[in-house]
Chain A
Amino acid sequence: MEAAFWTKMLGVLRLVFLNSWDGPMSILSILYLISLWRLFVKCGVKGWWALVPIARIYKIALCADREQEGRTLSTMAAAFYLADIIMSFTESGGLLSFGCMLLTLALIPAMLIYSVRVYRGLVRVFNRKKRWVLLWLISEFIPLAPLLWGFSSKYQPQWKAEEIRDDDVTEFFSGRKAAVLEEGLTVNLEERTAREFFRKKTLLRDIHMAIQPGHMVLLLGGSGAGKTTFLNAVNGYEPAKAEVTLNGRNMYKNYKEMQYDIGFVPQADLIRGSDTVYRTLMDTAMLRLPNSFSRPERKDRVEEVMEMFGLTPVQHNLVSKLSGGQRKRLSIAMEFIPNPTLFILDEPDSGLDGVMARELFQQLRKIADQGKIIIVITHTPDRVADLFDDVIVLAKDAKRTGRLAWFGPVADARTFFGKNTMEDIVRSVNREEEGGDGLADEYIIKYAEVQHA
């Protein structure tokens, strides 16, 4: 009985670590793992990951630039192994065993599809023909493809999988935190990290600034630089390792109370189409205005905001019947109902033509002039750059962490980057494979030096 148990146990361990049930196949599996180790090294991943069951699947996907698929595939593999282990230790024909068998049967085709996706990515990274995918699919039984790709110098990846490491980045740190403003917004963000599967990722690091009331701030940065992450960290929705104060009050510690004092307009118009404009704003007023507001006062506020954003003529129309511009204005108006001190807008001009976008930003300028702080992300900054007081430029450093490359007046930004337009500034900090100049690290260090000075 005990011997049978240990035989089973050995089989399970062999399955999990070597992907194989029997002895002769194990030899091929060992060859597979050795060649995978070599392949990982070529791709910039630590070789020993090849020995870690399940994680190695994710790492193969990383090498193939297919991280999402890798997550799913390794999760499925974990479930598959678990089901297999349960089946080997439970009575066949039992309910549990039957359930596990069903699960494995369902997982096999799904894993096959995801494996094809991952191996197609690998073939692309190594710039090889698609027929290699077939060899990779059988590589755990016949490790021809990993042996060739791992050991032959002919097979080299076009680019390496980047592993985020948290060392060697503090050198850019300016060391200067922003002084907390009695009135206005102060951001002292040390880092914003996210744990993703088998690794910790630093999304943002060392962003310090103080924004005066009445300032309208433009937030620039290439794709993936962390603009939305930064805004979510600023408004407390996704807290970072940071101290964010609004009018001298810590936003993280008082998020529940202060969330009503922050307006966040998302990129998409997330409004129910089945309500009228008036009803949408009235519901928002009921939700976001203090209880002390009487019904007539709420009504007055809604009418005031509708007038301000030009929505009065369409107040009885269903939201689903509004034009793109009207819907965008409604989305902003909803956030403006509680008259927030901090107003954050994520690409409010997306889908609007130049004239409408300009009008919208002029409207925002008027709001800022009332002593509000407005932070706006836009991908077409130059048509409205003159309306802004300050500009924030975020850039991805060599470790793909979002860093501050500039914060200050718009005109000074032009001088700092030596560019005439905001779009040129963005281009200068974007990575080369994104069509940019790849000067992000240079400007991050330069800005850190400026801050030191």
Chain B
Amino acid sequence: MAYIARRFGVSLFIIYVVITISFFLIRLMPGNAVDFLYFQLLASHTVSPQQALQQVQSLYGVNMKEPLLLQYVQYIWNMIHGSLGNSILYPGTSVLHILMNALPWTILIVSTSLIISFFIGISIGTLIAYFRKSKFAVLVSTIMTVLSAIPNYIVAIILLYLLADIHHIFPTGGAYSPEVAPGWNIPFLFSVARHAALPVIVFIITQVGGWSLGMKSSVVSALGEEYITSAHSHGIGSRRIIQSYVGRNAILPLVTSLGLSIGFMVGGSVFIETLFNYPGIGFFLITAVNGRDYPLMMGAFIIVTSAVVLANFLTDLINQRLDPRTMQK
């Protein structure tokens, strides 16, 4: 327990460090965003310098005439109290509100596709490792290599064109149809599933190759271990050996990469969410970058970083359960 607490503390610290770095980087850039906005407001001649200053201050939640260090303390202070400032592109809406609405959508497509592609991938990987000398396994391996090499936005464009544009099987974008009322009702959930289907399929197609190839090499090396030979000589059934001797050991390195993928997919969903016009974190990150909505950008950065760090933390915990060698007393 002490270990978990310590590990959690370290995670929080890492997030804090990344926030700090992002904060200062944005402000140290030549023509920084705060000045940019301030001078933009001044140039419009509709506001006095005081008003402009106030406006910027209210947008960022910081007073820019104060020293940088004080601004920083204020930003952190606001953050601890749950405020990330207001968005510029969506006036009157807090960054936190936008991100909290976007996060569930990203989590929905990222987790669904990760879980499905992971399980399909390790199953295929185990099979092609076990029958690695058969022609079929060689063919499947080749297909997986090709799949893992295609970038996801290419697959997304192809599927969008084929399944949404030509055949209208799936909608071209959005998280749900405007005709249904959001809530826990069947039409809404069905609509959500239909809209999430294409992004999820794209992720599965592009991820499954990597998982299966990773699992294949992991299984092949586990198969050569002497304890597998021993299990065979004890007469333990092949099925049991695959599951609890080979699989159990082979999956360890993949669980680590699964954890890392969770984090990186939240950030990496940018292309997919933009192409499918899917209102997740990635979509708003791109919108923020294009529109120079720095508070929103900062918020999205924090979410992405937190996702990576927390996923790492969870992976550590899971690995501890799975691998006795990393267990802490």
Whether both chains belong to one complex is answered with no
